[in-house]
Amino acid sequence: MHNLKTNFDKILDITKSFFKDSIDADGNYYFYPNKPKMSDCEVITLSVLCESIGIDSENYLFGKLNSDHFKDFPNLIHRSRFNRRRKRLGDLIFKLTQRISSLMNEGEDIYLVDSIPIPVCQIAREKSCKTCKENFETAPDKGYSAVSKSWYFGYKLHLATSVRGVFSSMELTKASVHDIHYLNEVKHSVITNCTLIADKGYISEPIQLDLFNTRQIRLKTPCRSSQHDKEPFPFIFKKARKRIETLFSQLCDQQMLKRNYAKSRTGLSIRLLCKISSVTMLQYINFLNNKPLNHLKYALAS
């Protein structure tokens, strides 16, 4: 926490540079009749920074800011106001992440796709849990994790990245939604004219043909043992797939992806987006400093 203000200023400068054509002199994207104490860019920066340094509890973050860094942040707003404004600025956080990733993914022609479970409670509390159940259409449900070979209650995060592990697109679905349905969303993303490497859960000949005919995306998956005329999955594809699996491990370890403090679906989505944005921001800082992109823990040390 001793470099909190320095890291805040570093990320704030990057944020303003990507929004320089759409913000006013105070750093606000939206018009406010009364000037807020913290600008939109500062709220976005604080949202990304806290996840970048491994703080996912707003209560702990604001407690440290008010006790140890009060002089560094004299215009700090109340925690509840920060939470409301962060939800309102969710589209801008996503836009910032897309702009940074598009810059780093320029010229990429190989992408990876996978999913990871996002539990909201223990499976034993499935029926009594009220978290994220404000709407039936977006409420969590029961799903099976092939990795841990167990059932869980919550959501599933689908993620597409470049072969270097840089974010490209994401979606949060119910836990029971099959991975293959996310490929229909990939058609509407920025991914095109490339090779998309996936696991066996994405095997579907109709979707494979549709992706190629509409977006020139060549879907590559391992063959099931029961498939006729199966061919061995190239070693280079197996090695490339480890990148997204390592990214998920980093998200779970450093960004604590599976620890949930949100009470609503919107709150959970914003928290997950900020975690993805923080990884992209750390990768971009490494990119600027000509360091390995995925050495995330050392990005802010430079």
Mean of the pLDDT values across residues 77-90? 93
Q: What is the DSSP-derived secondary structure letter of residue 221? A: -
For the chain, the 3-state helix, strand and coil shares in percent, each to the nearest 5, are: 45, 15, 40
Q: What is the pLDDT of residues 152-177, one digit of tens each?
A: 999 999 999 999 999 999 999 999 99
Is the full-model pTM beyond 0.85? Answer: yes
SS3 88: helix
pLDDT digits (tens, 9 = 90+) for 241-295: 899 999 999 999 989 999 888 889 999 999 999 999 999 999 999 999 999 999 9
Q: What is the C-alpha separation between 283 and 302, in angstroms, rounded? A: 12
Report which of 72, 68, 70, 9 is spatially closest to residue 41, judged by C-alpha positions.
9
Domains, in order of start, for the chain: 4-88 (no CATH), 107-262 (3.30.420)
- Cβ neighbours for 3, distance < 8 A, ≥ 6 positions apart: 300
Q: Is the pLDDT of residue 302 over 70?
A: no
